[in-house]
Amino acid sequence: MKITWLGHSAFRVETGKAVILIDPFFTGNPGAKDIDVKEATAGVTHIALTHGHGDHVGDTLTIAKETGATVIANADLGGWLSRRGAPKVDIGNTGGTLAHEGFTITFVNALHSSATMTEDGVSHALGNPNGLVFHFEDAPTLYHMGDTDIFSDMALINELHQPEIGLVPIGDRFTMGGAVAALACRRYFNFKVVLPCHYASFGIIDQTADKFVAGMAGHETRVLVAPAGTVHIL
pLDDT one-digit tens code per residue, 104-159? 999 999 999 998 877 777 788 999 999 999 999 999 999 999 999 999 999 999 99
- pLDDT of 38 over the 80 cut: yes
Question: Among 44-58, 69-83, 117-131, 134-148, where is mean pLDDT lowest?
Answer: 117-131
Write down the pLDDT at residue 80: 95
pLDDT at position 45: 98
CA separation for the pair 17, 45 (Å, rounded): 8
Half-sphere exposure of 106 (CA within 13 A, CB side): 16
Which stretch of DSSP H or E encloses residue 97? strand 97-100
> What's the helix, strand, coil split of the chain in %, to 5?
25, 30, 45
User: With bands split at pLDDT 50, 70 and 90, how would you rate the model's confidence at 218?
Assistant: very high
Phi/psi at 48 (nearest 5 deg)? -110, 130
Q: How far is 175 from 173, CA to CA, in rounded Å?
A: 6
Name the CATH superfamily, with its identifier, for domain 2-227: Ribonuclease Z/Hydroxyacylglutathione hydrolase-like (3.60.15.10)
**Secondary structure of residue 140 in the 3-state scheme:** coil
Pairwise CA distance, residues 92 & 158, whole Å? 20
> CB of 7 within 8 A of CB of 37?
no
